[in-house]
Structure 1
Amino acid sequence: MLLASLPRSMKAVVIDGDRPLVKSNVPIPILDENCILIRTVAVAGNTSEFKHLDLKLGPQGSILGCDVVGEIVQLGSNIIEPKDDEYQIGDYVYAFVHGASHSRPYNGAFAEYVSVDSATTYKCPKGWTLAKSDYLPQGPVTTFEGAVSIPFSMTTAGAVLYHEMRLQLEWEPKEPQNNFPLLIWGGATGVGQSLIQIAKRLHGYTKIIVVCSKKHRDNMIKYGADDVFDYHDEDVVQQIKQKYPNIQHLIDAVSNDETIQQVYKCSADDVPVTLMQLVFLNLDNIKPEDRKDNVKIIGTVVYLSTGLGVQMGESYHFPANPIYRRDIINFVKFIEPHIAAGEIQHMPVKIFRNGLDDIPEITDLIRKGKTSGEKFVTVLQ
């Protein structure tokens, strides 16, 4: 069913060499039977975009972008309207998609129309509107711009804590699920801000230890951090290790050659340790003299939530993982009502007003590290 007749082509941002190109006359994405076609209201930038460009992870001509919010204009053939009042034409939803993918290069968030997976899409409650200002402080989601800052980071955080770290989806249990603290390095990143909130609400650990710039300390505490360290301090690793010698779960939400070394050094010495990184780092990235037999470095590929195998560039291929997809579907269903109720907050948001034409600038700003603790969002409507 359609909201109205759709155009045959649209404006989108595609990979052109090593740059994002704003292009017209791009075909409307193919709508799979279990997907929803939305007309885009706003999109958000992530580190994913410049990494797909710089590391040549996505195919030429593919549409970039992971975070989108928009109005439903068409339902896939397997989606019956209405179905438990879940999805109807004219509703607004926000979602994570695998932009610049090899399997679906015709679909990405940075486009006027986007196909989103009905099983992992978040629904906007009635009453959410466009923001009236160009900046939103952290807070409960009440706007489309706040909503679009959430899906990629929140879904990744869910993959880390639920699928990988095996926390149970129980809201605010009395007792901690693990009898040791959690370290999150990069608490002010998009994923970091989601991780703190989920870990706190699931009472996953005895304490949540966060590393970030001291200017973000107050926000981290509001999210649920119990202790905050400033990564600018030269002895920050020594500070953490002295106060918390038994950290068995660590998450590097920055995940570069420098941070992985620092996070590794913060781990416990004599018990099994799991260190989560978010790119393709492994033991080879740790200096030989610092390696310990008790530490296991793992990663997560949130794009597996699509149910498809994932190809990234020429070097990385991950086979389809039905269990991964099942867990992400369960997590989205669990966390969505808590977002709608204001119990999970969006990060600070800076709003741009030129739609897809802002994407090249936003991508470059993110590449240069100009998004300190905030999400860059641009509005198309």
Structure 2
Amino acid sequence: MSTHKAVVTVAVRAPLGLIDVPTVAPTGREVQVHVEWTASTPLDLHQNDGGLLVTHPQVLGDGIAGTITAAGADAKNLAVGDKVFGFAFRENKQKAYQDFATVPETTLGKIPAGFSMQEATTLPNNTVTIFHAVTKDLGLPLEWPRPSSASPHAETPILIWGGASSCGQYALQILSHWGYKNLLTTASKKHHDYLKSIGARHTFDYHDADVASQILKAAPHVPYVLDCIASQQGSLARIAEFAQAGTVVAALLPVIIRDATDDVAPEYSMDTQGVVKWADGVEARGVRTHFYEDDAFFKEHLQSTVVPELLATGVVKPNKQRIVEGATLLERAQEAMNLLRRKEASAERLVWRVSDLKL
């Protein structure tokens, strides 16, 4: 079997490694992708520095943009030469930090005309996260195609904590498109104008000591909260200041008890209900995006049809990109990891070229 290069975790908090892995031929509805671009995510840091759900060596990355180089016999939507983007994660052969990934075709969509791979790779993992979190954890509908009638929750207050994050930006755009109009969000003040332009009705600076009272003044009861930060003290404890009986809080796991730094190891929890003191009747749920395929429609159509259509029609705009440079695949991956650890990207995605192969 032929092999190719892949970036892997070596040990907790160790520098990343580069190894040879098998180049797996696609079967059934699988396709093989020459991985040309990816966007790093906090999960990469959680896995490398915290060992979260990892058996070393673990190939990293779940956001893929590239070109189809082979297709299984039963593939029906994609063909060799298609430019694609998507979110895949289940096995090492599907991961993004390698020359070639072999993935189910349902985890990919064709990149619409007029968009670069660098732009497209900012979408898949976080748009999927929003659809899963909103429908599964908050219990709000996002029917496809979008209903022409007004949403029964059009004026229901929904708070996005961390609106300038990648997930926060996509949450505002997606919810706004589906007719949810009373969207509140927190972010640094410098991002407020942009967040209002993509759907936020009310914006709040999470640095303000009285942010909870500001939120309650705008909406005396907030029944739905999507926490895109999931920090014990940085977000959940602040949300607990205003959450009341009947509030559902969906936090993107893991909950960060202590952030990773160059000198300090991170600490995580998967217990959203127990990490802070909630008022009686508040339900705090942990969002686990990797289970989105439990929804049969999402499994077949979310990445292949819905996300490409939303991008093509301008419903969602790619996140701003910060291109991470480096002479090799390993150098670029390590630099992106370092930038994640140091929190040196704000309201932008760390995007970098993966394969050095010229096909």
Q: TM-score, normalised by structure 2?
A: 0.86
Alignment match, 1:35: 30
Structure 1's consecutive aligned runs of 4 or more residues displaced over 4 angstroms after TM superposition are none
Distance 1:29 1:300 in 2: 31
RMSD value, Cα: 2.1
Shift of 1:173: 4.2
1:227–1:328 Cα change, 3 Å: farther
C-alpha contact (below 8 Å) 1:15/1:53 kept by paired residues: yes
**In the alignment, structure 1 residue 50 sits paired with structure 2 residue 50:** no
1:17 corresponds to which of 1, 11, 35: 11
Alignment match, 1:68: 64
Distance 2:129 2:152 in 1: 20
C-alpha contact (below 8 Å) 2:88/2:107 kept by paired residues: no
Alignment match, 1:8: 2
Alignment match, 2:248: 274
1:358–1:325 Cα change, 3 Å: farther
**Aligned positions of 1:37-186 closer than 5 A:** 37-56=32-51, 57-79=53-75, 83=76, 86-98=77-89, 104-125=91-112, 127-128=113-114, 142-164=115-137, 165-169=139-143, 170-171=145-146, 173-178=148-153, 179-186=155-162
1:173–1:363 Cα change, 3 Å: farther
Shift of 1:325: 5.0
1:194–1:13 Cα change, 3 Å: same
**Aligned positions of 1:280-299 closer than 5 A:** 280-287=270-277, 291-299=278-286
Q: TM-score, normalised by structure 1?
A: 0.81
**Aligned positions of 1:186-197 closer than 5 A:** 186-197=162-173
C-alpha contact (below 8 Å) 1:162/1:331 kept by paired residues: no
**Aligned positions of 1:298-317 closer than 5 A:** 298-305=285-292
Alignment match, 1:202: 178
2:202 corresponds to which of 213, 227, 237: 227
Distance 2:26 2:58 in 1: 16
Shift of 1:25: 2.4
C-alpha contact (below 8 Å) 1:62/1:106 kept by paired residues: no
What one-letter code is carried by the residue in structure 1 that aligns with 2:45? F
Alignment match, 2:259: none
2:160 is paired with a residue of what secondary structure? strand
C-alpha contact (below 8 Å) 1:351/1:378 kept by paired residues: yes
Distance 1:324 1:31 in 2: 24
1:300-357 CA distance string (max 9 Å, x none):
211124x5xxxxxxxxxxxxxxx33543434333332121222210111111243522
Distance 1:97 1:325 in 2: 16
C-alpha contact (below 8 Å) 2:67/2:81 kept by paired residues: yes
Aligned-pair identity in percent equals: 22
C-alpha contact (below 8 Å) 1:44/1:375 kept by paired residues: yes
Shift of 1:145: 0.3
1:37 is paired with a residue of what secondary structure? strand
Q: Which moved more, 1:22-31 or 1:192-201?
A: 22-31
**In the alignment, structure 1 residue 327 sits paired with structure 2 residue 317:** no
C-alpha contact (below 8 Å) 2:7/2:333 kept by paired residues: yes
C-alpha contact (below 8 Å) 1:122/1:336 kept by paired residues: yes
Distance 1:49 1:184 in 2: 23
Shift of 1:166: 3.2
C-alpha contact (below 8 Å) 1:69/1:144 kept by paired residues: yes
What one-letter code is carried by the residue in structure 2 that aligns with 1:9? T
Runs of 5+ consecutive residues of structure 2 not aligned to the other structure: 254-269
Distance 1:225 1:256 in 2: 22
1:343 is paired with a residue of what secondary structure? coil
Shift of 1:55: 2.5
**In the alignment, structure 1 residue 336 sits paired with structure 2 residue 327:** no
Size of the aligned set, in residue pairs, is 330
C-alpha contact (below 8 Å) 1:196/1:225 kept by paired residues: yes
Distance 1:117 1:363 in 2: 27
Distance 1:352 1:292 in 2: 43
Distance 1:192 1:168 in 2: 16
